[in-house]
Chains A and B, each alone.
Chain A
Amino acid sequence: MNTTKNTPILSVRHLVKCFGQREILKDIDFSIDHGNVISIIGASGSGKSTMLRCINLLETPTSGEIIFEGKNILDISNNIPLYRTKVGMVFQSFNLFSNMSVLQNCMVSPVTVLKHPKKEARQTAMQYLEKVGMAQYINARPDQLSGGQKQRVAIARALAIKPQILLFDEPTSALDPQMVGEVLSVMSDLANEGLTMIIVTHEMAFARDVSNRVIYMADGVIVEDGTPQDIFGNPQNKKTQEFLARFTKNI
């Protein structure tokens, strides 16, 4: 393992995930450095989302290691809820708590999990809601918001626990083009501020412009892993070329 100053914040080693007999992820191996933004692209069913869900253990990996802060979090003794407060997640379907207001959504984890005082939790929540442009809507309930607004609140909720890495699982796939723009601009701001992010996305232009590394996945393996310039400008693998041919035409 790399032991220089640039120790990766998170490493995935030989990750395998099977659903029954079907092997969805086959020996996935990669790591992410502090402050990096990785986009994961690939066709539907290639295992991108499963891999992301394995990283914060919403799916239990069949075998392999996930190393965070020098510890393998798959060791049975590890405190998974505590780990999850350090690795936030934003979902495709937003999943805002429908029994709470926007503000409560952003305060519930700091208060119940991290045991922060309410006043402090509120200030933090307001700060992030301000950042995503949703501070006016603190009294609204999720079902009163548009898709783009919901996703921005979901991002604020994830940020409110101050994660060290933020995972995005196709955050814009359920949105119309105008709403996609508002969510992507929030994500670009976060990238510019140096937040470590792993983004599963179908937004090729965003992957090319915002991330500093792109991983192309197909059939449960990492086919190509490189800078956006390399992947989009000069893909080496035939599969990558075929996959990107459809998008490069449109860009």
Chain B
Amino acid sequence: MAADMPTTFLGWVMFIINQYGTALLQGAGVTLLLALFGTLIGCIIGLFVGIVQTIPVTDRTNSGFKFLNKIIQFIFAAYVEIFRGTPMIVQAMVVYYGSMAVFNIDMSAMVAGFLVVSVNTGAYMAETVRGGIISVDKGQTEAAMAIGMNHIQTMYTVVLPQALRNIMPQIGNNLIINIKDTSVLNVISVTELYFVSKSAAGVYYRYFEVFFVTCVIYFIMTFTASRILRYIEHRMAGSADYQLVNDPMADPTGIFPNNSNQGGKQ
């Protein structure tokens, strides 16, 4: 066996790729799956919590609603503080082993992993969404209210689209952090990229070579995610041009102005 073992660094790298390439890619797949769905569900949780946390309470609000609102606000604040204030690696242990010990639920490591990533991301996103909503100019809300919109209509048509656009960079941040930080789930034996790498490295005791490959795979994933998110941000900003419409009344659908000049920057 010793005769055909590689002797150089590059030789080892090629050897590792040959032997464990498929396993490492499968691990990367699990990592991406956890990061993407964890971020998505986390965003949905965060959006919900953030929106509820910014419900306005005025003198005109009835007292029953005020009381209910207070309780919900307390629960959400506690959720944010607890999950933001403890390490994800510890949360993974508590959820995975605790669900069995306390609730007698036999959760697979993968399910526990999804749960931890989503709930953790949700806590961070709640704060981000709250910040995004606050950052939208108060005049926008006032204008929406002045043309008769209620709170829900104002949020849905005016505030949230703008808030979402403002927090896109932060959503991207969360996705990239999740791609990397799902590696902590190896402590509950989720077969993501780090777990696979560690197993592979242990076979031949080639830690440096294996983790060099792992490092490259992580970087390819995060860099691709970051470029895609930048592209989406760019698309959301809209085009810099607009078209002047010479005879607007002639086309009642308004989608294809029949006769147009270019306006704006070319």
Say yes or no for A245: interface residue by CB 8 A criterion.
no
Which of these binds chain A: B39-47, B108-116, B221-229, B248-256?
A: B248-256
- Tell me which of B140, B245, B246, B249 contacts A97 (CB under 8 A): B140
Distance between B159 CB and nearest chain A CB, rounded to angstroms: 9
B interface list, Cβ under 8 A from A:
58-60, 137, 139-140, 142-150, 153, 157-158, 161-162, 165, 238, 242-246, 248-249, 252, 254, 257, 263-264
Rounded to whole Å, the gap between the CB of A238 and the closest CB of chain B is 36
Q: Are B139 and A95 in contact (CB under 8 A)?
A: yes
**Chain B contacts of A123 at CB under 8 A?**
252
B248 and A126 contacting across the interface, CB-CB below 8 Å: yes
Q: Which of A76, A99, A129 has the most CB of B within 10 A?
A: A99
Measured CA separation A89–B144 after assembly (Å)? 10
A212 to chain B, nearest CB (A): 25
**Contact across chains for B143 and A112 when beta carbons are under 8 A apart:** no
Tell whether A144 pairs with B149 under 8 Å between CB atoms, given A91-B142, A95-B139, A135-B245: no
Residues of B within 8 A of A91 (CB): 139, 142-143, 146
Complex CA gap A182/B244 in Å reads 19
Minimum CB–CB distance for A49 against chain B, Å: 12
Contacts of A89 in B (CB 8 A): 143, 146-147
A226 interface residue (CB < 8 Å to B) = no
Complex Cα distance, B147 from A161, in Å, reads: 7
Decide if B248 touches A130 in the complex (CB within 8 Å). yes
A93 beta carbon closer than 8 Å to chain B: yes
Is there a chain B Cβ closer than 8 Å to A68's Cβ?
no
Asked whether, in the complex, the Cβ of A138 is within 8 Å of the Cβ of B238, the reply is no
Contact of B145 among A58, A141, A158 (CB under 8 A): A58
Bound complex: CA A84 to CA B153 (Å) = 14
A144 touches B143 (CB 8 A): no
Specify which of A58, A76, A141 is in contact with B242 (CB 8 Å cutoff).
A141
A-B contact list, 16 entries, CB within 8 Å? A58-B145, A60-B58, A76-B60, A81-B145, A91-B142, A97-B143, A97-B144, A97-B157, A97-B158, A108-B157, A113-B148, A122-B252, A130-B248, A135-B248, A137-B244, A138-B245
Q: Given A95-B140, A139-B257, A141-B238, does the pair A109, B245 have CB atoms closer than 8 Å?
A: no
B148 touches A136 (CB 8 A): no
Chain B residues within 8 Å of A126, by CB: 248-249
Cα distance A60–B148 in the bound complex, in angstroms: 16
Min distance, Cβ A183 to any Cβ of chain B, angstroms: 17
Interface residue? A18 (CB, 8 A): no
- Residues in A with CB closer than 8 Å to B257 are 139
Determine whether the beta carbon of A137 is less than 8 Å from that of B148.
Answer: no
Partner of B149, one of A60, A101, A112, A158: A112
The residue from B58, B147, B148, B254 contacting A103, defined by CB atoms under 8 A apart: B254
- In the complex, the answer to whether A99 meets B162 with C-beta atoms within 8 Å is yes
CB closest residue in chain B, given A83: B148
A202 to B228, CA, bound (A): 50
Which of A101, A109, A139 has the most chain B CB atoms closer than 10 A to its own CB? A139
Residues of chain B with a CB closer than 8 A to A97's CB: 140, 143-144, 157-158
Closest to B62 in A: A76
- By Cβ-Cβ distance, the 4 closest A-B pairs, closest first, are A85-B148, A95-B143, A109-B147, A95-B139
Q: Is A251 on the interface with B (CB-CB < 8 A)?
A: no
CB within 8 Å of B: which of A114-154? 114, 119, 122-123, 126, 129-130, 135-141, 144, 154
The answer to whether B157 and A112 touch across the interface, beta carbons within 8 angstroms, is yes
Complex: chain B residue closest to A98, CB-CB? B162
CB distance from A200 to the nearest CB of B (A): 14
CA distance A81 to B263 in the complex (A): 36
A99 CA / B164 CA spacing, docked (Å): 11
Query: A85 near B147 (CB under 8 angstroms)?
Result: yes
Q: Is A96 an interface residue (CB 8 A)?
A: yes
Residue numbers in A under 8 Å from B248 (CB-CB): 126, 129-130, 135-136, 138
Q: How far is the CB of A34 from chain B (nearest CB, A)?
A: 21
- In the complex formed, the residue of B with least CB distance to A92 is B139
Residues of A within 8 A of B143 (CB): 89, 91, 95-97, 154
Q: Which A52-83 residues have C-beta < 8 A from chain B?
A: 56, 58, 60, 76, 81-82
